[in-house]
Amino acid sequence: MVERVKENYLHYLWKKKLIPFHLLSLDNGQEFQVIHYGIYNESESGPDFSLAKIKIDGILWVGPVEIHVKSSDWYLHKHEKDPNYNNVILHFVYDNDRKIIQNNRDIPTIALSKHLNKVHYQNFINNFYKNQGLFCHNSLQSNGQNLFNEHASAYLINRLERKYTLIEIESYKNLEELLILLFAKTMGGSLNGDTLSNFALDYYNKYTQNPSEQALLYHWSAHLENRLPWKKKGLRKAYNCNEKVLKLFAVFYEVDFNKAIDELLKTKDSIRFIEYIHKSNFSKFLTTNLIINALIPFLYALNKKGLLQIELKEFINFYYDLDTEHNKITRIWNSSNISLKNAADSQACLEIYQQFCSKKLCHLCELGKEILKK
């Protein structure tokens, strides 16, 4: 093997049913047949595939399949301490370098190392792993910046409008509850936003009823002990449940949601409303994230309901005043020679990528339409 095989390549083979099972055998010598490959677990903690069906020596087994580069990665990832892995029925690996025993049972293992299609693997690395950019990457190199600048504002507004359609003001008891939900949803991210927002509403309601610090800490600790249904697969340490709840806890002490909203509705001063967050002790990253994904959508929703009078260009200016975001998607656009100057640009590129590029809908994207004309 020239380099350590990427685990996502093994996931790809299993998902696409491209494994040469006729060449492989179980480590224990038993006959096996894959009846159903299972359901891919993209974000939840636990085994990679669930509800797979595999016949081993004539007996049908139904359960999870786990995938690793080396079988010893099982212990490296501390799966032996996680009961979610007790019922794994098959371990698919590149290199079987260690026998795996879980719940007093040998886990059947198949290894790909001797039968790796090196040409196929290299094509995967070149086309899927290293090149995760835009389909129009080459076309954007010459006049891409002008093309992006021409359509960026429209896609920024599209994104804001789409976020608004997900906000149902009437379904909340009051505006304070809505703003709390948007804060927590932003802090929880795409994976855990709903979990953290549900916790936040319950927590904040109890906080307002009994502002005693001891009661707060008790209620907070009780939730941690019961463990929220937190998705953690692939997340960095900073995104774990304890860290996020700690930051949420700090938000409740820093931000007087009710006071901020009352002042906003009286003065109609949206700039002052946003500056209220700037004065907090939050990190620059968290502050920017909250303004982009909570405060501005909140203001937009109130404006759509006639509670504020903000011109559309003012909303665009809110984003112009914020630094560009830095994430996987913005890096993809940067690699295609597109310069993102502020949050207005980064939000526009996120909208284009998520709604068109990732879905291969180039023919519906305004940039794609222009490129396809040539």
Give the pLDDT of residue 24.
Answer: 94
53 and 25 belong to one structural domain: yes
C-alpha 219 chain-centroid distance? 28
Residue 374 lies in a domain: no
Residue 2 lies in a domain: no
Q: Is 68 exposed, middle or buried (0-12, 13-18, 19+ CB in 10 A)?
A: buried
Give the pLDDT of residue 279.
Answer: 78
In whole angstroms, give the CA distance from residue 346 to residue 349. 5
Give the pLDDT of residue 143.
Answer: 82
What is the SS3 assignment for 318? Answer: helix
In whole angstroms, give the CA distance from residue 88 to residue 129. 28
Per-residue pLDDT tens digits of the chain, which is 374 residues long:
446 788 989 998 999 899 999 999 999 999 999 999 999 987 677 899 999 999 999 999 999 999 999 999 999 999 999 999 999 999 999 999 999 999 999 999 999 999 999 988 887 776 555 555 687 888 888 888 999 999 999 999 999 999 998 887 777 788 999 999 999 999 998 888 988 898 888 887 777 666 666 566 666 666 665 677 887 766 665 567 777 888 888 888 888 898 999 999 999 999 999 998 877 788 889 999 999 999 999 999 999 999 999 999 999 999 999 999 999 899 999 988 999 999 999 999 999 999 998 887 888 899 988 887 76
Q: Of 89, 113, 129, which marks where a domain is finished?
A: 129
Residue 1 lies in a domain: no
C-alpha 73 chain-centroid distance? 24
206 and 261 belong to one structural domain: yes
C-alpha 276 chain-centroid distance? 28
**DSSP per-residue codes, 185-249:** HHHHHHHHHHHHHHHHHHHHHHHHH---HHHHHHHHHHHHHH------TT--GGGSHHHHHHHHH
In whole angstroms, give the CA distance from residue 84 to residue 4. 27
Residue 102 lies in a domain: yes
Give the pLDDT of residue 360.
Answer: 79
Give the pLDDT of residue 325.
Answer: 94
77 and 175 belong to one structural domain: no
Q: Of 74, 97, 129, which marks where a domain is finished?
A: 129
**In terms of residue numbers, what domain contains 256?**
137-367
Residue 373 lies in a domain: no
Number of domains in the chain: 2
Q: Is 203 exposed, middle or buried (0-12, 13-18, 19+ CB in 10 A)?
A: buried
Give the pLDDT of residue 310.
Answer: 94
Q: Of 109, 129, 149, which marks where a domain is finished?
A: 129
Q: Is 316 exposed, middle or buried (0-12, 13-18, 19+ CB in 10 A)?
A: middle
Classify residue 311 as left (phi > 0), alpha (psi -120 to 50) or beta.
Answer: beta
Instruction: Please report, as a single letter, which amino acid is at residue 256.
Output: D
Report angle CA 363, 369, 374 to the nearest 5 degrees: 120
